[in-house]
Amino acid sequence: MVLRIAKFGWLCGGLLLGAPAFAQTAPDTSVAAALSSLSTRSGVVFAGDVIAVRHVGGVVEVEFQVDQNLKGPATGSYVLREWAGLWAAGQRRYWVGERAVVFLHDAGKSGLSSSVDGMDGILPISAAGSVAAGLSVDVQRLRARVLRAAGAPMVDSATQMSLTAVALAVQPPIVVPVIPPIATPIRHPLPLPIRKLPIILLPLQAPGSTPQNDEQEPILRAPVRTLPESLDAGH
């Protein structure tokens, strides 16, 4: 009887969270794929510190100071409201001073939410570790869920990732499609209209001949002077 009541309580909690109680996901092939899967099913993803935990009736309020927002409306401070049944048997899901990358479902109509895939959606952050640059994220839980053949070693041997690498897996780079340039039409000047000239037929001329005009110019001759008859007879 107690077991049935417990199952009923967990089912009601899943309904209150506004998420399916029995979510089915495809197996992950790598830690990066697991991070992408968590992000796809999350409404809010951020890296931050827990600054307060308050138990209010049947709800636990967890307040975060957001250091880096990765997805959703989480800036400044963010308050997560969880069903208190998730904290059953004294389980401490969050504590003040904890730093983590948190993957959260979208809040339901009741305002309640929770981490995606339970504790797999809460990745602790530490300043020390094998990652040289910046903060490191513990991905040990995600390594354990990567699909591999029976007896085969884990594909990803690293137990930690840099916060930058986690952010890239959660927010893959946006690929901007290359739009080909629009061809600019080349404007050529319009050709000038061809002016038709009158055709003049010239008469055929023999080589070396002088061209003759239809209207010959009059030939000017000097006047002839006649002598008187008296002078002409004496001569």
Please write the tens of the pLDDT for every residue from 156-187: 567 888 888 888 888 766 777 788 888 777 77
**CA torsion sign, 132 to 138 to 140 to 145?**
negative
**Ranges 50-64, 68-82, 131-145, 219-233: which has the least confidence:** 219-233
Residue with tokens 């899943």: 14
Cα three-residue angle 80-86-92, rounded to 5 degrees: 80
CA-angle at 149, arms to 144 and 153, nearest 5°: 55
- Write the CA distances from 182 to 123, 178, 179, 194, integer angstroms: 48, 12, 9, 35
pLDDT value at 56 more than 50: yes
The answer to pTM > 0.75 is no
Q: Is the pLDDT of residue 15 over 60?
A: no
Domain boundaries, the chain: 2-18+28-170
Which helix (H) or strand (E) segment holds residue 163: the answer is helix 163-170
Instruction: Give the 3-state secondary structure of residue 235.
Output: coil
CATH, range 2-18+28-170: 2.40.50.140
Per-residue pLDDT tens for 131-152?
445 688 888 888 887 876 565 5
pLDDT at 231 over 70: no
Quick one: residue 52, left, alpha or beta (phi over 0 = left, psi -120 to 50 = alpha)?
beta
Q: Output Rg (C-alpha) for the chain, integer angstroms.
A: 50
d(C-alpha 189, C-alpha 186), whole Å: 10
Q: How confident is the model at residue 198 (pLDDT cuts 50, 70, 90)?
A: confident
